[in-house]
Structure 1
Amino acid sequence: MNIRIWLCILLIIIVSCKSDNFYDTKRELSTNKTIYNIGDEIIIRMKITPQKIRKEILVYKNYKNIDFSFSIINHHKNIYNGYWSNTSGTNLPLSDIKELTITKNDPFIVEYIGNIGVENENVYILFPKLNNYKVTFNKEILQDANTFIRIHGISYPIKPEIGASLEEYFNTKDFKIKL
């Protein structure tokens, strides 16, 4: 076969494959409080709303591709995104994929519930339903009144088109843990 036929076949395969992305969406991350105590429950809410009337998105059934992580911020100590944690999705296996149609009146919303506790010299946040995803921070750094924790959210397309962004960010959300 000549090269033109191969190129046409390849182009047909590429064009016919269904791809996804999170373009043209508003991605919002929020929490149930801004200040937490040891023993509190933290709820992280991630919401994806289309900017147009509707949008098709792909998500893993366990939401592995709707991810978040934590870092420490303390401007007085020049700490910007220090002690960055692993992301929540790295703790999850691949699962089945579901296709969702989201609208402005029916956006995609997922909530993650964590428990805040103390273990030795560390404060931790444990998310039991995320395969016990756990992040820890040294108590000493959290005792500084200028220190807060920042949540970073990200959505990953499962089948991105060629040249697509492989990650779409949510707004960041800051909170404190009082010891």
Structure 2
Amino acid sequence: MKNILAYSILLILIFSCNQNDFSDTELYFLTDKASYSVNDYFKITVVVSPKNGEKKIRIKKNLNNLKISFHATSTKLGFSQELKKHFIEGPSLTKDESEYIDEFTISKTHPFKKTFKGQISESKESIILEIPELNITDSVAKSKLLVNPKLTIKGNFHTIYSVKEEYFIPKAIEILIE
């Protein structure tokens, strides 16, 4: 009897985790421009599209399962800042999680899209990138961008209840400094 109960719980957990992954999807970023100057406003859009047909995805309302990083391409070590942290935990067996998780049915013609607005500013030695909606303020040394003004945006989505992740296609932008 204990074995049947254990197997049943295991199967429930496996199937509930499998319905929420980003496998067989294309993840990429769109920006409103290819290059930006200091004091520009920018828009970055996160896009998730299925490779075929329709697919259901679940995303935390606070976007804690989204990770984005910026990398300066002018240095060997690069510049990297994790903008969102994620916490991995099991599904609740007793409460409604719709308060914390949104479910989307996506297709090629109707992908998931979320646009964030930000601003680029500067201090004496840094270029500052701010995205208020995500409570992000980040910076990169001007000296790195003077050598090569390109930044690469990278990221991934983690499934809600497992460690599986799918990566975004990297997106390059330029930050022009006068």
TM-score of the pair, normalised by structure 1: 0.82
- SS of the equivalent of 1:89 reads coil
Using the TM superposition, give the Cα deviation of residue 174 of structure 1 relative to its aligned residue in structure 2, in angstroms: 0.9
Relative distance call for 1:55 and 1:49 in structure 2 (3 A) is same
- SS of the equivalent of 1:45 reads strand
Q: Find 2:167's aligned residue among 154, 166, 169.
A: 169
Cα distance in 2 between the residues matched to 1:111 and 1:155:
15
Q: Find 1:100's aligned residue among 94, 99, 104.
A: 104
Counterpart in the other structure of 2:4: 8
Cα distance in 1 between the residues matched to 2:139 and 2:36:
15
Counterpart in the other structure of 1:152: 154
Cα distance in 1 between the residues matched to 2:69 and 2:125:
21
Counterpart in the other structure of 1:143: 146
Tell me the percent identity: 27
Cα distance in 2 between the residues matched to 1:175 and 1:61:
27
Cα distance in 1 between the residues matched to 2:140 and 2:69:
13
Q: Find 2:123's aligned residue among 102, 107, 119.
A: 119
- SS of the equivalent of 2:3 reads helix
8 Å Cα contact 2:149/2:175 also seen in 1: no
Matches within 5 A, 1:56-67: 56-67=56-67
Using the TM superposition, give the Cα deviation of residue 166 of structure 1 relative to its aligned residue in structure 2, in angstroms: 2.1
Q: Which amino acid aligns with 2:121?
A: G
Q: Find 1:88's aligned residue among 73, 83, 86.
A: 83
Using the TM superposition, give the Cα deviation of residue 81 of structure 1 relative to its aligned residue in structure 2, in angstroms: 5.8
8 Å Cα contact 1:72/1:80 also seen in 2: no
Cα distance in 1 between the residues matched to 2:77 and 2:104:
33
Q: Unaligned regions of 5+ residues in structure 2, if any? A: 87-98
| Matched pairs, number | 162
- SS of the equivalent of 2:11 reads helix
8 Å Cα contact 1:47/1:107 also seen in 2: yes
Across the aligned residues of Structure 1 and Structure 2, the Cα RMSD in angstroms comes to: 2.0
- SS of the equivalent of 2:84 reads helix
TM-score of the pair, normalised by structure 2: 0.83
Q: Unaligned regions of 5+ residues in structure 1, if any? A: none
Cα distance in 1 between the residues matched to 2:2 and 2:124:
63
Cα distance in 1 between the residues matched to 2:77 and 2:106:
32
Task: Kindly provide the CA deviation profile for residues 83-135 of structure 1, in whole angstroms up to 9, marking residues without a partner as x.
Answer: 211x22239xxx7111211122211111111100002211010011112x111
8 Å Cα contact 2:71/2:78 also seen in 1: yes
